[in-house]
Amino acid sequence: MMFPLARSALSSLKIRSIQQSMARQSHVKHSPDFHDKYGNAVLASGTTFCVVAWVFTVTQIGIKWNPSPVGRVTPKEWKDQ
């Protein structure tokens, strides 16, 4: 039968050893994966595609952007009936 203090000490030792092994693994150099090799190129090409698509949309498809009619519209004459 283990006492609570001994049990907590043992479990904290296990946790500490797991944390130390994880810290050792995090310092090991890993081989470059897909994101290390191509991540910036994929990000740049996606950004470029989006910018080009929006520039085309804004300039070529003829959206009416609803400019303000102030100064261009004159009121009609009032008619009494």
Which mean pLDDT values do the consecutive 10-residue runs of the chain (81 residues) have?
62 67 65 88 97 92 75 78 65
Residue 68: per-residue pLDDT: 76
Structure tokens at 5: 């203090």
Residue 46 tokens read as: 């996606």
**Cα separations in angstroms, 25 against 11, 29, 33, 35, 37:** 21, 9, 17, 20, 21
Residue keyed to tokens 């995090």: 26
The two three-digit tokens of residue 64, written as one number: 């009416």
Amino acid 6: pLDDT: 61
> For residue 65, what are its two tokens?
């952007």
Global pTM value: 0.43
Instruction: Select from 44, 40, 63 the least CA-distant residue to 52.
Output: 44
